[in-house]
């Protein structure tokens, strides 16, 4: 899937495959509702990319917001997106061409450089709301008919992990 804003295009597959620190990508989709309800206060209701990565027997939901403009992405905007994705995703990346220095200081935020197509700052684990994460995983499994063996609760383990 390609994203196009202001005349530029970004390949979601290339971005997802460039993120390697959460295991292997097993699923990704563009433009999916992040939360189980429409939130008028959030900066966004649709994630640009939601990806699921598998590491050992554990699956991680990773959110990616893409800003293809040439302007610098500031920390206020970055924080507003982080707060939106935090409830549902275990990791979050903001993908852009340029970031303010203050954006690099946001501990939980991952940064992806669209110029080099590389991660330039890794995110911290976000400890999502278990119900929000489970709802998103259930929707992914149901609507895309994938990942049938994935545990929906982020803190539940499978027997194969032991």
24-77: per-residue pLDDT in tens?
999 999 988 887 665 655 555 788 999 999 998 889 999 999 999 999 999 999
CATH code at 2-151: 3.40.1350
128-160: per-residue pLDDT in tens?
999 999 999 999 998 888 877 777 765 555 555
Q: Rounded CA gap, 127 and 145, in Å?
A: 26
Contact 74, 80 (CB under 8 A): no
**pTM of the full structure:** 0.85
Extents of the domains making up the chain: 2-151
Q: Rounded CA gap, 1 and 67, in Å?
A: 16
- Pair of tokens at residue 106: 């946001």
Q: Rounded CA gap, 100 and 26, in Å?
A: 32
Contact 75, 83 (CB under 8 A): no
Residue 108's pLDDT is what?
97
């Amino acid at each position: 899937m390609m994203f196009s804003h202001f005349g530029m295009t970004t390949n979601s597959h290339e971005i997802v495959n460039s993120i390697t620190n959460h295991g292997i990508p097993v699923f990704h989709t563009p433009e999916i509702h992040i939360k189980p309800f429409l939130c008028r206060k959030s900066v966004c209701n649709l994630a640009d990319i939601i990806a699921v990565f598998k590491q050992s027997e554990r699956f991680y939901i990773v959110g990616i917001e893409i800003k293809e403009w040439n302007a610098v992405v500031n920390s206020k905007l970055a924080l507003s997106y982080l707060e939106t994705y935090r409830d549902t995703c275990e990791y979050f990346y903001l993908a852009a061409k340029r970031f303010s220095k203050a954006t690099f200081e946001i501990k939980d935020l991952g940064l992806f450089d669209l110029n080099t197509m590389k991660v330039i700052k890794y995110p911290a684990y976000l400890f999502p709301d278990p119900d929000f994460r489970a709802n998103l995983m259930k929707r992914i499994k149901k609507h895309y008919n994938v990942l049938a063996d994935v545990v929906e609760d982020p803190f539940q383990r499978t027997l194969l992990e032991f």
